[in-house]
Structure 1
Amino acid sequence: MAAIRYDAAAAEAYRRAREIPRDGLTAWRAAIGASARLAPGMTVLDVGAGTGAFATAFRDWYGVRVLAVEPADAMRALVPADDRIEVVAGRAESLPLPDGCADAAWLGSVLHHLADLDAAAHELRRVLRPGGRVLVRNAFPGRCSRDLRVRFFPETAAGIDDYPGVERVCAAFAAAGFTRLSLESLPQQNAPTLAEFADRIRRDADSKLASLGDARFEAGMARLRSAAAADPAAPATSWMDLLVLG
């Protein structure tokens, strides 16, 4: 899997290409609200916050305070900090935060970037208050067939095979004192149509696509453009898993 180095240009490309429109996350808003039991005044830890799309969503949806932890300087610079979003430089394996400072933790497409999953699980146990839940949004091996990128760029599934699997993740968190509470696949609308999704793709902002050779990438784009032409009204709907631990 090709790594992305997030300088200012790459961070902006990520924001434009990868952030999902808020109205495409209806199912996620409902599932998170039911799973995390969030209420105004609570604090959510957003680990690997990127450019802040979910940090702002949590703030707006639930009225919570967000600690947005992100290691890349260029990504942090794009997080819209305010009185309810505090941006923190750091990594999941060594969180620069005090014990018991958060009511819930969010890991959105982060697991495969962690150098030490076990250390991260123990750090989350440390910084969460008793009863705090961890919500993991990620692609998992063997469960990614409805991911849009896998649909049109099937070679990307091999990269996901290298990600931590559900059982590996649950074992790491169990050792830190967490229990698996639920696992469900949820839809997200990445763009109103497949054509608009194709227009937003930036190969240099996506480690899965960056790992493809030119021929495979162009073949995938051709499949995507063909599907868009065949059904111009079809929404660009993808699916990912939400794993909840507590």
Structure 2
Amino acid sequence: MTVLDVGAGTGGFAAAFREWFGVRVLAVEPSAAMRALIPVAPVLIRNTFPGRGERDLRVRFFPETAESVSDYPSVERVEEAFGAAGFRRVALRSLPQESAPTLASYADGLRRERDTKLRALTDEAYARGLARIRAAAAANPGESAVSWMDLLVLR
């Protein structure tokens, strides 16, 4: 479980929540003076950034979803926004995220209503995408359903 501590001050309660309850804590503090007192911690952003989503399963099988990512903030825009608060890029890596052990099980478990990108598709586009997944699963029965998503690390 992750707890969001908004107005975290010096981070004292964030550390206590982690210790007392064994949870991850995301501390957010708008005051620069208070943030200066918190031990330095990285900002981790896992996302699909524009121009970097070609290995996302949704883009692979539902190519119409690629356009929705084009409206997301670019890596450069995110760095600029966080740079105003003193953060700089430490790393940008693509990491695998397994959605299902096989493409067939991915298709079986896919729920259009749970995914904003898929909900935006027409019925026909969604049906074509499912057919693409099932064809790929038939051609490669052991292939895992893996998307590669970016992890941007700022410190």
For the aligned pair, the TM-score class normalised by the smaller chain equals 0.7 to 0.9
Select 2:138's aligned residue among 229, 233, 244: 229
Counterparts of 2:119 and 2:44 in 1: how far apart (Å)?
27
Counterparts of 1:245 and 1:124 in 2: how far apart (Å)?
19
Alpha-carbon contact 2:7-2:30 (below 8 Å) kept: no
Paired residue secondary structure (1:185):
strand
Cα 1:100/1:199, change in 2 over 3 Å: farther
The answer to whether 1:138 aligns with 2:51 is no
Spell out the pairing of 1:117-196 with structure 2 (5 A cutoff). Answer: 123=30, 129-196=38-105
Corresponding residue of 1:96: 6
Q: What letter matches 1:96 in structure 2? A: V
Where structure 2 has 5 or more consecutive residues not aligned to the other structure, the ranges are 16-23
Spell out the pairing of 1:1-246 with structure 2 (5 A cutoff). Answer: 55=1, 66-67=2-3, 69=4, 96-101=6-11, 102=14, 123=30, 129-246=38-155
Counterparts of 2:131 and 2:149 in 1: how far apart (Å)?
24
Alpha-carbon contact 1:105-1:135 (below 8 Å) kept: no
Given the two structures, how large is their TM-score scaled by the length of structure 1?
0.53
Q: Which has the bigger relative contact order, CA under 8 A and spacing at least 6? A: 2
Alpha-carbon RMSD:
2.4
Identity %: 51
Alpha-carbon contact 2:45-2:152 (below 8 Å) kept: yes
Paired residue secondary structure (1:169):
helix
Cα 1:221/1:127, change in 2 over 3 Å: farther
Aligned length: 142
Paired residue secondary structure (1:132):
coil
Where structure 1 has 5 or more consecutive residues not aligned to the other structure, the ranges are 1-54, 56-65, 70-94, 107-119
